[in-house]
Structure 1
Amino acid sequence: MSPKTSKTAKTSGRHGGRSAGRRRMEMTPARITMLVLAAVTLVFIFQNTQETKIRLLVPEVTMPLWAALLATALIGALCGAYFMGRRR
């Protein structure tokens, strides 16, 4: 083996570099933006606490506006996660 080959073989082994199964939780601009948007969404939801009437196809339901907004946000997040998962 040449010195170059043996050196790269040592560093590219199991313990060289990053572990294959681990991902680092780095704070990227996209993650920071998502955290800020989630915080603003929660503030918006919990600022709107009055009762409201909501029509779900046929029945009319009276419930706190924050619960309707939170349910809508959760449904949207689940749909987004589902479609992003299918994309990979």
Structure 2
Amino acid sequence: MARTSRDHTDQKPHTPFLSRPGVRRLTPFVLITAVALVFIFENQASTEIRLLIPKVTMPLWGALLIAWGLGMLACAFAVRRRRDRHTKRPGA
């Protein structure tokens, strides 16, 4: 008998969405980001910030958002660098 599209013997077993490795890795990032953004946008008072020499008055949420963005960039570079280091094999 010919195989039809309804024959599921060649497919991988179904993995629940929350058990997938990509979702499990991304979930803490999404939760921490959501909490951080709520914290950032709840702080709306103006504050004086010293940037090495000049003093700048800006909303606290702006300073927190800049710090959060720089932290995300640093994290992305660190993860990328670690991944590149582990994929290269000596002598290959």
Question: Normalised by the shorter chain, which TM-score bucket?
Answer: 0.5 to 0.7
Aligned pairs, number: 67
Which residue in 1 is equivalent to 2:30? 35
The CA distance in 2 between the partners of 1:65 and 1:41, in whole Å, is 13
C-alpha RMSD of matched pairs (Å): 2.1
Q: Which consecutive residues of structure 1, in runs of 5 or more, have no partner in the other structure?
A: 1-10, 18-23
The CA distance in 2 between the partners of 1:55 and 1:84, in whole Å, is 30
Q: Which runs of 4+ in 1 moved over 6 A?
A: none
Q: Which consecutive residues of structure 2, in runs of 5 or more, have no partner in the other structure?
A: 1-9, 13-19, 84-92
The CA distance in 1 between the partners of 2:49 and 2:22, in whole Å, is 41
Identity across aligned pairs (percent)?
45
Which residue in 1 is equivalent to 2:5? none
2:34 partner SS: helix
| Structure 2 letter corresponding to 1:49 | Q
Matches within 5 A, 1:1-88: 26-28=22-24, 30-88=25-83
What TM-score do the two structures reach when normalised by structure 2? 0.65
The CA distance in 1 between the partners of 2:33 and 2:43, in whole Å, is 16
